Copies of this chain bind each other. A is one copy, B any other.
Amino acid sequence: MMPKLPEDLPECMVFLLGKAYQKAHANFKKQLKPYGLTNMQHLVLEGLWYQEGMTAAELGKLLIMDKATVSGILERMVETGWIVKKPDPDDGRIQRLYPSEKAGQLQERLVGERKKANQQILKKFSIEEQLLFKRLLRDLI
C-alpha cells in the first residue's frame, strides 16, 4: 500500500504511473523468473511471434523501445538462445530476427503467463473501469 507522501506528490501522475508500473513489472518479473526471461525479453518474443523476421529497428518501433536498448536486449537473447539473427541478403545493414526453437516450444506457456499477469492487475476493477483504464493509458502513449 501507499505510504504517507509529501504535499500533493501522491497526486502527481508521473509518480503514480511510475509506481504502478514498478509494481506490475515486479509481479510479472517473478512470474518469468523460472523461465530465465526478463520482462523486456518476453516482450521481444511476443513481438517476433507476431511477426518474425523483423529488423531491430522495426521491433523497436513496434515495442516503443530505444534502438540502443533493443541492441543490448537482442544481444543477450542471442547469447541465451532465445532468438536468432540472420543477415538480410538484400540489405547489408540489416539483421532479421527470429524466435528460436526453444522459444517456440514455450510460446503458449509464456503468452499464458502474460495474460495471467494482466488478469491479476485487472481483477481489482470492474469491467467498465478496466476499459476506461486502458483507454486513459493509451491516450498517454
The chain A residues found within 8 Å of chain B, CB to CB, are 1-25, 28, 39, 43, 46-47, 49-51, 61-62, 64, 111, 114-115, 117-118, 121-122, 124-125, 129, 132-134, 136-141
Contact = CB atoms under 8 A, between A and B. Distances in A.
B61 A3 contact: yes
B117 A140 contact: no
Contact of A121 (B5, B13, B124, B134): B13
Contact of A17 (B10, B13, B47, B137): B137
Contacts of A8: 115
Contacts of A9: 43, 46, 50
A39 B22 CA distance: 15
A51 B8 CA distance: 14
Given A2-B64, A17-B137, A23-B140, 5 more contacts: A3-B64, A14-B117, A18-B21, A19-B64, A22-B64
A14 B39 contact: yes
A11 to B, nearest CB: 7
Contacts of A140: 19-20, 23-24, 121, 124
A115 B114 CA distance: 34
A79 to B, nearest CB: 24
Contact of A14 (B3, B15, B118): B118
A46 B9 CA distance: 8
A24 B28 contact: no
